[in-house]
A and B are shown apart, each in its own frame.
Chain A
Amino acid sequence: MIDHWIVGCVAALLLLLLVVGVLRRHWFPEGLNLSPRTALRLNAWALVALAVSFAARWALRQPGWSEPLRAAVALAPLLPGSFYVLGIVHWIRGLDELQRRIQIGAVAFVAAVMGFAMMGVDLLQAAGFVRHFHWGWEFAYAVAFLLWMIGCALSTRRYA
């Protein structure tokens, strides 16, 4: 029952993401200084990781894999995922000092909210309110992306 409520929350978050996207120009006086091309380039490895993840899940349903190979296939999305993180770090390092500060603020916001959210869900699970709730990394990535946009907005407005 609670799981349905969580799915509703995710749908609401995605709707909010859409609204944030539409209102972006109003929220960010200077924009994110992030062209669609740069945004795509930055997130390309995440999309690759997503594709590898789906492929790995499908592949692991097939019989006949040895245990070490199963582990290697299961962990395969980590490789594009690490390229994604390196790309983000490289991009932040290349920003000018104020933009860098804004991005570090946004990333700290994401880390804090995600940490508290995971803690909250875990506590609710331990108390028996939430059952069978699995934090898939795809879900966590979508939520982190939304939180990053909110973090950018909050951090940017401080200097606008």
Chain B
Amino acid sequence: MKSRLRELREAKQWSQGDLAARLGVSRQTINAIETDRYDPSLPLAFKIARLFKRPIEEIFADGG
């Protein structure tokens, strides 16, 4: 799955650590999502969508 998380995070001028703290996950999780190595769970994806005030499909796209 492709994500626009890095782009959205950088637009807010947050570090990966900042975003991780806001979402209650590890920095490694944010890094893995941004590099498309890990697909977040549905609850985490919703949390990210709420944080950036965007629909999930605007943040995550099917990479297949």
Contact = CB atoms under 8 A, between A and B. Distances in A.
B24 A96 contact: yes
Interface of B: 24-29, 31-32, 37-38, 40-41, 44
A33 interface: yes
A33 B31 CA distance: 15
Contact of A97 (B27, B31, B40): B40
Nearest to B32: A159
A98 B37 CA distance: 11
Contacts of A99: 26, 28-29
B34 to A, nearest CB: 11
A3 interface: no
Interface residues of A, number: 12
A33 B37 CA distance: 19
Contacts of A160: 28, 31-32, 37
A159 to B, nearest CB: 4
B1 to A, nearest CB: 14
Contact of A30 (B24, B26, B40): B26
B38 A159 contact: yes
Contacts of B25: 96-98
Contact of B37 (A30, A96, A97, A158): A158
Given A158-B37, A159-B37, A98 B24 contact: no
A158 B29 CA distance: 12
A64 to B, nearest CB: 55
17 contacts: A29-B28, A30-B26, A30-B28, A30-B31, A96-B26, A97-B25, A97-B29, A97-B40, A97-B44, A98-B28, A98-B29, A98-B38, A99-B26, A99-B28, A160-B28, A160-B31, A160-B37
